[in-house]
Structure 1
């Protein structure tokens, strides 16, 4: 994925040369030459990416190309920002101090000029290494207009009904069990749907949950996802909030035993349907089963990849195994995804498409997710030749092992879908690996994070006053159309007016798609995930990488631990562009981290500290301040649900900050801070606990 990384960094450098050109005086020619060298190297990266598995040396060169591009952007941007700040400050000084500043600036320009020349030489040497190995420059690159059309095609998220094929009998059978008033002997009423990932368990459960017969039979409904990093309190809260959404704030303050008592009382007095989606082990059930009466008129509907888990939870329950689709059902689903209302272009009639499609769908092995993803690929291909290319690629991917398991087949098809993404969408997709399993990611937060990293390109504006947020939404829409992400659309009831300018509320990844996303992010050195939920550092599955090169994004899950457990060497952190601290409970951040380690993150574009508290908040004079004033590259700052003491002078130095998110945060300022002093280009969410 070196080509998309280098491409969006090149765009950033190009904008700096235009917008900050006056502050690059003295090194402008060197910066332009660096930009030109990177463009020539980018032309080689498409071929290099394809050949990197042939030899370790090519893989190493590809990794170096990304690091050099990041280094180039950091160098040019740092120099431009610092000189801009110096020149603005120089106007207020006396003549002698102003002369001293001019001398210092000349020295800095000379030093930076030498650094850029050195970087130029390294890029040039790497480019020659590619060429000597036989790496060829791409001769046919997409024109700008056609690339825009590819990114901006009309999209619409496919409703569940279109993905639902051949399971009507299963719905009828399961619904009869759910509404059966007969008590299950010796246990609460458990109905399970088991099967491999991507087999449609959640789709089937959602159909039952929203079925008119279920709405008529049950009084109350709750749906919770049980992730692999589950927390007992979050599960209990999720069920109660589903029952009593208007009492959310009250419920969040309850102790665990209070939540258990309320759940027992409520379920004994009515018929409740509770869905436990994607439960991986019996441990989660053992922690929450006390909240479910042994005998009641309600039902528990659970989905799991492990049949043994379902049998242990409900030994006397009803257990249904999701089945694979037949070839005919798979073809029907593929037609819905790929051929409905699609124009046919070029050679070949509809029959030719059908014959080729029926051959391709057999490679999916009857797995619904694989068919849906393949349909997402084919939906963007309008000519028979394009379909034939996809067919040949699938055959080459799967020919490596005739006995490959279904999950392996799915990952091959997901890989093909990823490879077919426009280059600008690849880093946007990989960024989703930073979020929790089953997390519904608010789209505005996602868009702002993409923008902070420079992943949203102004080149994709089609005119008509489109904002960068509009462009980001078109990116997400394209990912949804290709079935790479699942989105929650904004819906409007009859007679109501749409208040939000956005088409989506949130998005998330299917479990298998998330597994693939994490694996691909690991392969590309895109990010690294640390887990400290149990007091020790754990590199979460799929987060490590065996390849060389710098990792530019760290995600840290703290549990209730101190953030100072995250201790990295300066050489490891000085390249970081994104840093996310997230406490699943309320973690803390000591002065040690706040005052020392923060100084190592000088290149950050995005900083999130969520659910973390600074000790000694009641004594703001002596409490450690969050030292972020030196983060001159910062575009995005989120302190959601955190508590900190901050200095206005520190945050006012963040001249390029675009988004400040203080939702549910308690910020104690050392003195009053007027919002107008913040030069925000985006929005400020100050939350209800802002304190000045």
Structure 2
């Protein structure tokens, strides 16, 4: 139940705070819509609707354990917020792609010039795709907002929690993916290559600025049928900050279904479990949202996986 409470309230509140930041004037989604005056209203409507939902989150979090309808409402809200985040991630990824490819004039000029030029680069297909999904997301959020009174949720203006980062999961809606097909193919080809299939340990990093689509790409690859069929074991874990070897090892064991709760607080025993669970198998481990680059802290986990490669 503690996990449910965290996901239901605190994580959504954190995700909403991220959304508000990305809907700021400097956000790429707003820049894309600014050139289409008739459509800017969608973003205003989205922000107003999110504000109306955010102020009842604390009350919903307190009531979800005793009210299944509130719990279901929170789950639906989380899905809708995830959809909104995914849209913004797609836009940010497209911005990065356009900058890299230099599709409009010379994007190596000043940052202000880049912003002006990039507004002219959006294809109608991409914009209409984003607009349609944005309208659907707003409609879903408004439906949830209309249920606030029926659920008896009360407004709490001063109690919005300031959490860290929203943990990711491996779940992805393929219909939300746009413009990642080449990257997906390249990544899958690399994972299924002969080098990766042998006794060698293959590490495939996905790096980039925040919101560039790294997590989305990892999700699409992780859920691909060829990848599922190739690897005997798969585990996804959102690392975030701060680094915690015990938490990460436990999460990976839970991901592959080998967690033994009796060793819950013993890092050494958990890593022995992980080693035994992976031994002799083809496995794919995804560590998402990695910020800590102090390699000494990763040594224990790395050594466990490194030893397995030759067993």
Shorter chain as denominator, the TM-score bin is: 0.3 to 0.5
Higher helix share: 2
Higher relative contact order (CA 8 A, sep 6+): 2
Larger Rg: 1
Query: TM-score, normalization: structure 1?
Result: 0.23
Higher strand share: 1
